């Protein structure tokens, strides 16, 4: 009798055993897809992890319904990466499977499966052509030196940090490195944190690598993603993959180099749902499995990476000059506290910024305005009685979206119609509080009615080509002003932008998070770096209520080191990364009182093992999402501690907790290396 263990696309920790016929046994192997029945009626596409002859310790083992192919579609290294992610990030392997394969490869019912299979065969036929248009520019002397230094550094480091100021021409260095590795017959993975960025860099890379390059991200149709995945399995895989976070899950055959561009970006970490993995860490593991090299590139390194570079664990290469000696932008601090007091603000704008925009528009130059909040206002309030609409499923006030006349919960996505009258007092007198990007857009239309404006935030980029449209239109100067959230801060390269306005630098800085200053420095330096890239010295107007804050001063003077140094002293003293590892344990339940009780019990059990490394339980700032209350326990663990032992201890305690009948609706999950 033969059996297979399989991973199901469900949040399940374990693999499940099914029987196979002799005929199936001839074709099935680790990494193949099979169709199995799970539960009474449900049918799933599962991935085989093991073929064996050991009968399971229970009666009535079911047979695999169908073997979908006779070759693995998940190769050995992918399988190991899945296992590493499940182990390190303390999440069910089924969740990793769900995240790793495009939807088309894990259909639920049979008919859909057959349809997909037909299409798959088609894709495999698509032939492979070599890129024809090779447009390699000459590197500048500084770029050439950095390029040589990177290759030298790779001789004794697997991982190297390229720390180059904004506009130092890092992309061009990457392109030469990619050429170098492809010429040796190797594959390259080029990771970017944001789809918005891939659209800009795709054009540049396509000119050089043509059909050798595949692009992979969620704005492509599922069929397109399946095609890329299948091509990576075929005899003629793409030599270069450009993609976001999830590209680490693609099959590679002979990976030689991984580039993690804008390595400091938070969006490399998946927050919701599990697996809550960091693509940079996953990429390092993937590279290690292939004996490949990893280049981490950024103008503002994450403190973790910079720390390891200083310690010699990573190589370090620096570029301090912008390409062709362009100047870094001038940063002007605008103290809006004082301006507010004197009632001189024009909406969210200081007179200085308004003047600068006016002059730029007169010179036919462009402007980027960065604001950290989308929507129209943070919330609305009844002027009469102070009533504020809140989400009925989450513990947050609703964001007002004026265009759609909707109130939206940014946590669960639920939308509500704006009520005609206040449900508390019956009056019809709402006022909007706080400023979102939509309101910024309205204010600009009032101040500069002749200017054409584009807005880039989550709300304007939902459709498939919207990123591309906005970025191309702005690059083609079809608009004068681009308003956006963090999306506009990340590595975008526009020739004609002379003014960058940061409307409110304070919200980031005031976050209750040990990384708040690091992040503020990164975001502000990055957005400032969008100004004056080609021809002129850019001007940045940084509006803040805390003009004296050291972080703001460091940004202005580009003093990365000073901030790094003071922050490291604090982090070492209080046991934060990179000196310790953090694990957040989250508990969710619909009954707040019971949850408090269970969270306290879990913390006690954790303390019995981890002692004073355990803090909490605490109630997080948003303490209820989608009708479930949330509690959080923090564990600070020495870097030297064995991840295996820590995992074993945590999972044992988790099991003890969940085995109690009273805890049957409790959910426990982890955020390892939270950001
Ligand atoms: P970074 O990624 O370091 O911020 P980029 O790679 O975007 O910088 O380069 C900044 C600008 O300089 C881009 O417009 C790019 O096209 C140009 N550039 C960089 N290197 C070269 C080169 N060797 N030849 C021609 N143009 C270059
Ligand atoms: Zn009211
Ligand atoms: Zn909600």
Strand order across the 159-164 sheet: 213-216, 240-243, 187-191, 255-261, 293-298, 159-164, 315-319
Q: Determine the pLDDT at residue 555.
A: 86
E-state strands within 566-658: 580-589, 614-618, 624-625, 628-638
Contact 366, 481 (CB under 8 A): yes
CA of 468 relative to ligand 2 center, distance in Å:
43
pLDDT at residue 535, rounded to an integer: 64
Which pLDDT value is given to residue 533?
65
Both tokens assigned to 637 = 């663990």
C-alpha to C-alpha distance for 187 and 467, rounded to whole angstroms: 27
Angle at Cα 448 formed by Cα 442 and Cα 449, nearest 5°? 75
Asked if 422 and 429 touch (Cβ cutoff 8 Å), the reply is: yes
What lies within 8 Å, CB to CB, of 170 at 6+ separation is 162, 164, 261, 297, 319
Q: Report pTM.
A: 0.91
CA neighbor of 542 nearest in space, from 342, 330, 382, 397? 330
**Closest C-alpha to 675, from 167, 88, 268, 65:** 268
- What length does the chain have? 675
What is the per-residue pLDDT for 492? 83
Residues 16, 14: Cα–Cα separation, whole Å: 7
- Mean pLDDT across the chain, nearest whole number? 91
Tokens of 99: 């995240």
Mean pLDDT computed over 45-49? 96
Q: Give the Cα separation of 40 and 604 in Å (integer).
A: 39
Answer for the pair 258, 283: CB distance below 8 angstroms, yes or no.
yes
Shortest-distance Cα residue to atom 27 of ligand 1: 169
Is the pLDDT at 561 greater than 60, yes or no? Answer: yes
- Give the Å distance between the CA of 534 and the centre of ligand 1: 9
- Model confidence at 142, pLDDT cuts 50, 70, 90, reads very high
Q: Which one is predicted more confidently, 403 or 75? A: 75
| Minimal-distance CA residue to ligand 1 atom 25 | 137
Distance between CA 619 and CA 226 in Å, rounded? 41
Report helix, strand and coil shares of the chain as percent, to nearest 5: 40, 25, 40
Q: What ligand is nearest to the CA atom of residue 259?
A: 1
Taking residues 379-385, what's their average pLDDT? 91
Residue 5 burial (CB count, 10 A): 19
Q: Find the ligand nearest to 382 CA.
A: 2
Ligand 1 pocket at CB < 6 A = 137-140, 143, 164, 166-172, 323, 493, 533
pLDDT score of 129? 37
* 254 neighbors 186 (Cβ within 8 angstroms): yes
Q: Is the dihedral of CA 203, 204, 210, 212 positive or negative?
A: negative
Please give the average per-residue pLDDT across 312-341, as a whole number: 91
Task: Give the DSSP letter of residue 430.
Answer: E
In the prediction, which pLDDT does 531 show?
87
For residues 293 and 287, is the Cβ–Cβ distance under 8 A?
Answer: yes
Contacts of 586 (CB under 8 A, 6+ apart): 630, 631, 632, 668, 669, 670, 671
Residue nearest to atom 2 of ligand 1 (CA): 170
Q: What is the pLDDT of residues 277-290, one digit of tens each?
A: 999 999 999 999 99
What's the pLDDT tens digit per position in 57-102?
A: 998 999 999 999 889 999 999 999 999 999 999 999 999 999 999 9
Cβ count near 662 (within 10 Å): 11
CA separation for the pair 75, 172 (Å, rounded): 32
- The rounded Å distance from CA 429 to ligand 2 centre is 8
Residue 531 CA to chain centroid, in angstroms? 24
Model confidence at 121, in pLDDT bands (50, 70, 90)? Answer: very low
Least distant ligand from the CA of 397:
3
264 pLDDT higher than 90: yes
Question: What's the Cα-to-Cα distance from 658 to each of 266, 427, 655, rounded to whole Å?
Answer: 32, 48, 5
Using CA atoms, how far apart are residues 85 and 275, in angstroms rounded to an integer?
Answer: 7
With contact defined as beta carbons under 8 Å apart, do 493 and 482 qualify? no
pLDDT (tens digit, 9 = 90+) per residue, 623-674? 999 999 999 999 999 999 999 999 999 999 999 999 999 998 999 999 999 9
By alpha-carbon position, which residue is closest to atom 18 of ligand 1?
Answer: 169
194 with 492: CB under 8 angstroms?
A: no
Quote the ligand 3 centre to 627 CA distance (angstroms): 8
Residue 562, both tokens: 């000073």
Backbone angles phi, psi at 264, to 5 degrees: -75, -10
Return d(Cα 642, Cα 201) in angstroms, integer: 40
């Amino acid at each position: 009798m033969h059996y297979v263990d399989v991973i199901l696309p469900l949040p399940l920790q374990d693999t499940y055993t099914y029987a196979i016929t002799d005929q199936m046994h001839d074709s099935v192997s680790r990494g193949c897809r099979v169709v199995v029945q799970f539960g009474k009626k449900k049918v799933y596409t599962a991935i085989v992890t093991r073929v064996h002859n050991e009968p399971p310790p229970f009666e009535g083992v079911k047979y695999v319904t169908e073997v979908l192919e006779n070759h693995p579609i998940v190769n050995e290294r992918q399988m190991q990466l899945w296992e590493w992610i499940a182990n390190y990030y303390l999440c069910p392997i089924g969740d990793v499977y769900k995240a790793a394969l495009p939807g088309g490869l894990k259909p639920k019912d049979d008919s859909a499966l057959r349809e997909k299979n037909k299409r798959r065969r088609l894709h495999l036929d698509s032939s492979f052509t070599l890129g024809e248009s090779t447009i390699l520019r000459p590197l500048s002397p500084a770029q050439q030196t950095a390029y040589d230094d990177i290759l030298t550094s790779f001789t004794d480091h697997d991982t190297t940090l390229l720390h180059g100021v904004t506009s130092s021409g890092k992309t061009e260095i990457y392109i030469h490195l990619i050429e170098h590795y492809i010429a040796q017959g190797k594959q390259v993975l080029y990771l970017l944190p944001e789809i918005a960025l891939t659209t800009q860099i795709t054009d540049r890379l396509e000119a050089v690598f043509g059909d050798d390059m595949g692009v992979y991200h969620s704005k492509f149709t599922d069929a397109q993603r399946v095609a890329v995945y299948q091509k990576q399995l075929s005899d003629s895989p793409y030599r270069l993959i450009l993609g976001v976070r999830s590209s680490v899950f693609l099959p590679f055959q002979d990976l030689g180099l991984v580039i993690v561009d804008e390595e400091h970006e938070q969006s490399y970490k998946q927050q919701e749902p599990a697996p809550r993995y960091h693509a940079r860490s996953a990429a390092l593991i993937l590279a290690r499995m292939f004996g490949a090299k990893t280049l981490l590139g950024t103008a503002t390194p994450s403190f973790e990476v910079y720390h390891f570079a200083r310690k010699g664990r990573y190589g370090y290469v620096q570029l301090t000059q912008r390409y062709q000696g362009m100047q870094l932008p001038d940063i002007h601090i605008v103290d809006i506290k004082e301006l507010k007091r004197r009632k001189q603000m024009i909406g969210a704008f200081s007179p200085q910024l308004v003047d600068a925009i006016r002059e730029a528009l007169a010179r036919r130059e462009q402007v980027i305005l960065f604001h950290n909040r989308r929507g129209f206002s943070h919330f609305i309030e009844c002027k009469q009685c102070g009533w504020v609409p809140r989400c009925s499923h989450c513990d947050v006030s609703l964001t007002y979206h004026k265009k759609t006349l909707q109130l939206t919960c940014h946590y669960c996505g639920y939308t509500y119609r704006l009520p005609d009258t206040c449900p508390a007092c019956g009056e019809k007198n709402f006022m909007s509080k706080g400023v979102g990007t939509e309101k910024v857009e309205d204010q600009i239309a009032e101040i500069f009615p002749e200017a054409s404006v584009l807005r880039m935030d989550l709300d304007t980029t939902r459709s498939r080509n919207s990123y591309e449209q906005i970025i191309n239109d702005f690059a083609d100067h079809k608009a004068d002003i681009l308003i956006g959230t963090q999306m506009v801060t990340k590595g975008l390269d526009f020739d004609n932008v002379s003014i960058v306005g940061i409307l409110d630098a304070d919200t980031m800085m005031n976050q209750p998070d040990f990384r708040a200053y690091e992040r503020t420095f990164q975001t502000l330096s990055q957005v400032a770096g969008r100004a004056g890239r080609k021809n002129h010295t850019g001007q940045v107007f940084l509006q803040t209520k805390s003009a004296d804050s050291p972080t703001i001063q460091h940004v202005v003077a580009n003093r990365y080191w000073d901030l790094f140094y003071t922050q490291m002293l604090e982090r070492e003293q209080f046991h934060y990364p990179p000196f310790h590892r953090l694990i957040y344990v989250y508990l969710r339940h619909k009954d707040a009182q019971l949850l408090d009780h269970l969270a306290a019990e879990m913390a006690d059990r954790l303390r019995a093992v981890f002692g004073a490394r355990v803090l909490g339980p605490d109630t997080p700032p948003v303490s209820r999402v989608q009708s479930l209350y949330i509690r959080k326990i923090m564990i600070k663990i020495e870097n030297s501690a064995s991840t295996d032992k820590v995992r074993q201890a945590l999972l044992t305690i988790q099991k003890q907790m969940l085995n109690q009948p009273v805890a049957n609706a409790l959910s426990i999950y982890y955020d390892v290396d939270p950001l």
